[in-house]
Amino acid sequence: MENIKPWISAFRLRTLPLALACIGMGGFLAASQGAFRTDIFLLCAITTVLLQILSNLANDYGDSVHGADHDGRKGPQRAVQSGAITPAQMRNALIVFVALCLVSGIALLILSFGLNWNAFLFFFCLGLLSILAAVAYTVGKKPYGYIGLGDFSVLIFFGLVGVLGSLYLFTQQVNPLQVLPALSCGLFSMGVLNINNIRDIESDRVAGKFSIPVRIGKEKATAYHWFLLIGGLLAAFIYVFLSYHSGWQLLFLFTLPLFIRNGMAVQKKATHELDPYLKQMALSTLLFVILFGLGQVLA
């Protein structure tokens, strides 16, 4: 049992609600069109969780190899950094989770598309890109997370691909207007990453990890954070305005105080005090998705 604890910690289970948020948004949008299927949703959720765990393990390994995880880091101690898991063990785990993602993803595509090989091959390539993005964020000679491209990747994979891709698995079509709720998920997910990067701003600077907060400083990163929060809410409001049917669609506004609280914490608290607000932002995003989705279904 003691040997399992470091792995559970390395999986970083608190990040999973955020990963499921984009899939949940896609599922709710499909349900509002009468196209929801439980089997597709469950397999989609499994694939997403596996991808998120793969990303977390790769992040643990990559940051330790590149020196971003060191004694001066403010966040929770990582498994490879602490020696609880060896680099070789972590590399083997990455191979295992890549294989699990492929198996789960292929099963999902067969379930969704059957013999529609054009759709199958397109989404299979998209899945390979997702796996590559999960690993290459911090692993390799030139990880893109170290040059400030992590935010862009989160917007694409936690927003556009996560929401619109999962929606297409149900409906086999996407309305251009549905880009807006996908942007909401992407922007809020960028907010989680931004809090993480503000918390680690000093240790990342020392390690040569040039995240956006390292590049622009904490004050501007705080303004950037407010932009992400306001942008996510505004995208949702515009979608509701353009597709309005009933007041139920405004349910998501009940999450407004949670996002305000998060923004105020990022603005006022010291970097070493921000770690709890990662979880708060992730859970706020998940609640936003649930209320927004219920509003669409009930409208």
Q: Give me the residue spans of the domains in the chain.
A: 4-298
Residue 6: predicted pLDDT: 86
Residue 2: predicted pLDDT: 53
Residue 77: predicted pLDDT: 61
Write out the chain's pLDDT in tens, 299 residues. Answer: 457 888 988 898 888 988 899 999 999 999 999 999 999 999 999 999 999 999 999 988 887 776 555 455 455 666 787 778 888 999 999 999 999 999 999 999 999 998 899 999 999 999 999 999 999 988 878 889 888 899 999 999 999 999 999 999 999 999 999 999 999 999 999 999 999 999 999 988 988 889 999 999 999 999 999 999 999 999 999 999 999 999 999 999 999 999 999 999 999 999 999 999 999 999 999 999 999 999 999 99
Helix, strand, or coil here: 160?
helix
As a whole number of angstroms, the distance between CA 272 and CA 270 comes to: 6
Residue 1: predicted pLDDT: 46
Residues 46-81: pLDDT tens digits? 999 999 999 999 988 887 776 555 455 455 666 787
As a whole number of angstroms, the distance between CA 268 and CA 37 comes to: 44
Residues 126-143: pLDDT tens digits? 999 999 999 998 887 888
Tokens 């691909």 correspond to: 161
Residue 20: predicted pLDDT: 93
% of residues, the chain, pLDDT over 70: 95
**Nearest CA to 252 among 283, 296, 282?**
296
Residue 140: predicted pLDDT: 78
| First vs last C-alpha separation in the chain | 48
- Which token pair is 257? 């105080």
As a whole number of angstroms, the distance between CA 202 and CA 200 comes to: 6
Whether the Cβ atoms of residue 61 and residue 87 lie closer than 8 Å to each other: yes
Instruction: Please name the residues in contact with 228: beta carbons below 8 A apart, sequence gap of 6 or more.
Output: 187, 188, 190, 191, 194
Residue 259: predicted pLDDT: 98
Orientation angle between helical segments 87-113 and 117-136, nearest 10 degrees = 160
Could you tell me where the DSSP H helices lie in the chain?
4-11, 16-32, 38-66, 79-82, 87-113, 117-136, 150-154, 166-171, 179-199, 201-207, 212-216, 218-242, 256-268, 275-298
Whether the Cβ atoms of residue 131 and residue 70 lie closer than 8 Å to each other: no
Whether the Cβ atoms of residue 246 and residue 298 lie closer than 8 Å to each other: yes
